[in-house]
Amino acid sequence: MRRMLLFAVLTAALAVCWLMAQPAGDPLLQGLREVEVASVADAMEQLYGQQSFMSHEMRPLSPAKFAGPAVTVLMKKEEHKEGSAASQGMLDAIDNAPAGSVYVMVLENGADYAGIGGLMATAMKYRGFAGAIVDGSVRDTPQIRKLQFPVFSRGVAPSTTINHYRFAGVNVPVTCAGVKVNGGDIIVADEDGVAVVPKAHAADVLKKAQDLDNTEHSMIPFIEKFRSIKEAVAKFGRI
């Protein structure tokens, strides 16, 4: 029991430390880093009637919480013998992106291929990326965990994309785990999953998400005191 409690405390501390390490700068991004992804998803649905959250299969390697503008990378499935030259664009996207970006890679039919590994994760970490989202698998997971660099993916596989994929574009529109993402859209991620906020909607979504967070957090002591979820929902209008 004590070990489980210690693990939970360390897990929460890791997520908080990573959140605090993100660049300050834009108050809009800072606000989206602080709200819960569940509230962001609810805000997008309530304001615009849109599903903004990615598939439940998109899971983090380690606990993480971050937000940042997307740099999208599209990789098309194609068998060839050109080696890494055909994938050069996915590396250029890392070296050319500003700090605070979120690398959003989509591998066409990529469940059994690792889109990134320890080397790319190291480059992203030291260039100041907020995190990476891979619609496909990843590898070198011990190295990535040691880096404490947040990565979400659909799975883990030991394979390479070299000679199996070709770079097809950077900052192009992609569909990542069921959600459309454009370059510059805001990616918001925590242990519940990943949501996408179009840049034009970010301010309104943040305000709505903050309101939802505040309401829900106010309900907890009410439920603890009166021991009734029904009365809490009736009073606060949130579930």
Residue 4: predicted pLDDT:
42
List, as one string, the DSSP characters of 84-150: GGGGHHHHHHHHHSPTT-EEEEEETT-TTSEEE-HHHHHHHHHTT--EEEEEEEE--HHHHHHHT--
pLDDT tens by residue, the chain, 239 residues: 444 444 344 444 444 444 444 455 799 999 999 999 999 999 999 999 999 999 999 999 999 999 999 999 999 999 999 999 999 999 999 999 999 999 999 999 999 999 999 999 999 999 999 999 999 999 999 999 999 999 999 999 999 999 999 999 999 999 999 999 999 999 999 999 999 999 999 999 999 999 999 998 888 898 888 888 898 888 787 77
Other beta carbons within 10 Å of 154 = 22
Please report the pLDDT score of residue 239 as a whole number.
Answer: 72
At residue 24, the pLDDT reads 52
Tokens of 45: 């649905």
In sequence order, the β-bridge partners of residue 111 are: none
Enter the pTM of the model: 0.87
